[in-house]
Structure 1
Amino acid sequence: MDRRNSTDVSDFILLGLADSAEAQLLLFLLFLLIYLVTVLGNAGMMLLICLDPQLHTPMYFFLTHLSFLDLSYSSVITPRTLQNLLASSKSISFLGCFTQMYLFIVFGATECFLLSSMANDHYVAICSPLHYPVIMSPRRCHALLAGSYVTGFVDSTVNAIFMSRLWFCNSKVIHHFFCDTSPILALSCSDTYEAELIIFICGGSNLVLSLVTISGSYVSILCTILKMSSTAGKQKAFSTCASHLLGVTIFYDTPIFTHLKLKQSYSLGKDQVACVFYMIVIPMLNPLIYSLRNKEVKNAVIRIIQKREGPRQFK
Structure 2
Amino acid sequence: MFLHILAHNLKYRVVQFSYCRSKETISRQFNDVLRAVMKVSKDYLNFQPCTLEGAEANKWRWFERCIGALDGTHIPVTVSPDERPRYRNRKGDVSTNVLAACGLDLRFIYVLPGWEGSAGDSRVLRDALRRQNKLEIPTGKYFLVDAGYTNGPRFLAPYRGTRYHLNEWIGNTPQSYKELFNLRHASARNAIERSFGILKKRWSILRTPSFFDIKTQIRIINACFVLHNFIRDEQQTDQLLEVQDLEFLSVVDEELVHQSREEVQNNVIDDITTIQATEEWTRFRDTLAMNMFANYKVRRNFA
TM-score (norm 1): 0.26
TM-score (norm 2): 0.27
Return the structure number with greater relative CO, CA threshold 8 A, min gap 6: 1
- Greater Rg by CA: 1
